Amino acid sequence: MHNCVALSIVSQRQTVTKRDGENRRWELVAYQLCSTTERIGRFVLRGDKKMTNNNLNKLLAFCVLFCTQKTSIVHGAQALETKVSLLLHAEPENPKCFAEGMSDLTCFWEEDEERAGSADQYSFIYTYQNENSSECSVTALPAAGGKRLYFCRLSQTQLFVPLDIRVFRDDLLIHNRSLFIEVVFLLDPPANLTLTSTGTQGQLKASWLPPSLKYMGDSMMYEVSYAMAGSHIGKVEEVQASSELILRGLQSGTKYKVRIRVKLDGISYSGYWSAWTDPVLMETMPGDLDPLIVSLSLIISLVLTLLSLLVLMSHRRFLLKKIWPIIPTPESKFQGLFKVYDGDFQEWLGHSTGGLWLRPTYFYSEEFPAPLEVLSEVSLGPVLPSSALPPKASEALGEEEDEDKKLKRVDPALMEGWRETPQEHWPMDQLRAIHRHPAPWTQSSLLESHDAYVTLNAQNHSVEEPLDDILEETLPLQVLFASGRTSSESRSDLSSNVQQSSGSGRLSSQSSFEYPNHTWPSKGPGYTYMAVADSGVSMDYSPMSSNKIDDIGKGVIYTNEYKNEIPAHRRPIGSPIHFAF
């Protein structure tokens, strides 16, 4: 019976939708069929023989009708339940009364199950001012927590006038209250809450349908609660007598959940806050780049670029060296060789002697400017007499004969240049001394695996110096060229206009050769000797490995280590002479 009672209460509530009449009809039908169903059920239980298929069909029909309206009735019942729970918290007085529309009043009170009686035991007496009392029928409903609720509903009310309510239980007054009905409104939440975008960032427009109460439209007060989806912290905004609100200051591209509740403003009408609507979710417009952030990031990147540029500029030389290392060119040492003569060494030699010989440092420094030709072939023949050395050497050299003969020619200019060398150029003096006092050739002493050595023929100078003082590095030309080895590449490095004494030339190298017994071969006059050394780094001269020294013959094994050291007793030439190619 309880379900039917609840349905009856709900059905008696004045609906606020536009389908008033229709709703009421359906609610009455629902109540009736509910009662009918119960009666039929009782018949069935009694086992009444009169129960026929006809009745069952009717029952089915009622059930079908009932189910179609079930949703609305259930919804109404849920709303009632919500309001009851709201008032139980909000209203301390008993009985708790609320008005939902313009002409209704629902009052209820709560009692414990143990002490509760049936609804018939209670009487609800209400009296308007200056009027006679009336009675309202009480209905009971079970509630959660072992409690029972007693309801009374008035369908026609007077506002703006005091109403006295008295509740009796078996003629015992249990509740007494005087109230104005227009101040106890508890409305349904607004319907159709929708969120739309306003077209502006960080904004949302909330719109809803106000409760359709006549005369009270401009007395409604709404509270809109909005929060980011998933967050519990939200904001609340109040709005009066309106059906829409623009929420501002929202984050872009974020989902927000919004809900609303309504209350009468309290000037003419007043009441309790309604229940919150179900939350509605909506995402705000995606945000454009915040101009402040864009500008700040631009400024920062500009500053960083400037800083990096400054650093680069201050260290540009270092960086250039690392990134773009200078390819060494011999241009600086051969002035005008590439620019003027396009690399034609012979021509350059012919035209640039003056400047060259005036710079003896070139001659003795590691960057040897003089054009030299490297003769790579040398055979260990017997020591030739000094005068015959050159031709012998040329024979030994084989295909280099022609060039050797050329080398025999002494360029007078060269000779002059040589004469002008200052006294410091002791190797020249030594050479001259040797020239005057040729020493027997010790062929075996001087071996050099694969270095190219060149001598320049100097003019005759009589220098009396012991041969021992001669540079160890100086080597006769023949010796320097290992047997059977053609250093064609070394020859090609130099132009052909190399003044060399092929046979008896003295060569100087900075290599650490050990030939203790070497004596300088004598050379005829007219040869210019020049100390030439290979730095050992330029592998062009030494295609063969340094290990092939054995076949050179008896003698001391020479390592291929070129040390840029000059013996202390000698005048320091400085760094070894090397060809700067």
User: For binding to another protein (CB under 8 A), which residues are involved?
Assistant: 102-103, 128-130, 156-161, 180, 182, 214-215, 218, 267-268
Q: Report, in Å, the least distance between residue 121 CB and another protein.
A: 31
Q: Report, in Å, the least distance between residue 161 CB and another protein.
A: 4
* Torsions phi, psi for 402 (to 5 deg): -60, -40
Q: Report, in Å, the least distance between residue 195 CB and another protein.
A: 26
Q: What is the identity of the amino acid at 565?
A: E
440 burial class (0-12, 13-18, 19+ CB within 10 angstroms)? middle
Of 103 and 460, nearer to another protein (C-beta) is: 103
Of 64 and 161, nearer to another protein (C-beta) is: 161
How far lies 427's CA from each of 86, 138, 457, in Å? 120, 140, 12
Of 130 and 423, nearer to another protein (C-beta) is: 130
Q: Report, in Å, the least distance between residue 60 CB and another protein.
A: 39
Measured between alpha carbons, how far apart are the two ends of the chain, in Å?
A: 118
Q: Report the distance separating Cα 251 and Cα 246, nearest Å.
A: 14
CB atoms within 10 A of CB 570: 15
157, 99 Cβ separation under 8 angstroms? yes
Go through 365-384 and write b for each residue having 16 or more CB atoms within 10 A of its CB, e for each that does not.
Answer: bbbbbbbbbbbbbbbbbebb
User: What is the enclosing helix (H) or strand (E) of 506?
Assistant: strand 506-507
Of 217 and 398, nearer to another protein (C-beta) is: 217
Nearest one of 220, 195, 187, 193 to 209, comparing CA atoms:
193
Of 158 and 387, nearer to another protein (C-beta) is: 158
Q: Report, in Å, the least distance between residue 2 CB and another protein.
A: 31
CA–centroid distance for 46 within its chain: 82
Nearest one of 523, 543, 521, 522 to 534, comparing CA atoms:
543
Of 103 and 201, nearer to another protein (C-beta) is: 103
Q: Report the distance separating Cα 446 and Cα 49, nearest Å.
A: 146
Nearest one of 468, 482, 489, 493 to 558, comparing CA atoms:
482
Of 240 and 361, nearer to another protein (C-beta) is: 240
Collect contacts of 194-197 with beta carbons under 8 A, ≥24 apart: 194/280, 195/256, 195/258, 195/280, 195/281, 195/282, 196/282, 197/282, 197/284, 197/285
Of 183 and 544, nearer to another protein (C-beta) is: 183
Q: Report, in Å, the least distance between residue 215 CB and another protein.
A: 6
Of 128 and 338, nearer to another protein (C-beta) is: 128
DSSP assignment of 274-325: -PPPPPEEEEPPPPPPPHHHHHHHHHHHHHHHHHHHHHHHHTHHHHHHHHSP
Q: Report, in Å, the least distance between residue 163 CB and another protein.
A: 10
| Greatest pairwise CA separation for the chain in angstroms | 165
Q: Report, in Å, the least distance between residue 142 CB and another protein.
A: 33
Place of tokens 């050992």: 536
Q: Report the distance separating Cα 158 and Cα 180, nearest Å.
A: 9
Q: Report, in Å, the least distance between residue 37 CB and another protein.
A: 34
Q: Report, in Å, the least distance between residue 22 CB and another protein.
A: 20
Q: Report the distance separating Cα 204 and Cα 193, nearest Å.
A: 12
Of 214 and 317, nearer to another protein (C-beta) is: 214
Q: Report, in Å, the least distance between residue 240 CB and another protein.
A: 10
Of 112 and 218, nearer to another protein (C-beta) is: 218
Q: Report, in Å, the least distance between residue 72 CB and another protein.
A: 24
Of 154 and 507, nearer to another protein (C-beta) is: 154
CB atoms within 10 A of CB 179: 17
Of 118 and 155, nearer to another protein (C-beta) is: 155
Q: Report, in Å, the least distance between residue 160 CB and another protein.
A: 3
Of 265 and 514, nearer to another protein (C-beta) is: 265
SS3 for 115-154 is CCCCHHHEEEEEEECCCCEEEECCEEEEECCCEEEEEEEE
276 burial class (0-12, 13-18, 19+ CB within 10 angstroms)? middle
Q: Report, in Å, the least distance between residue 131 CB and another protein.
A: 9
Tell me which DSSP letter residue 525 carries.
Answer: T
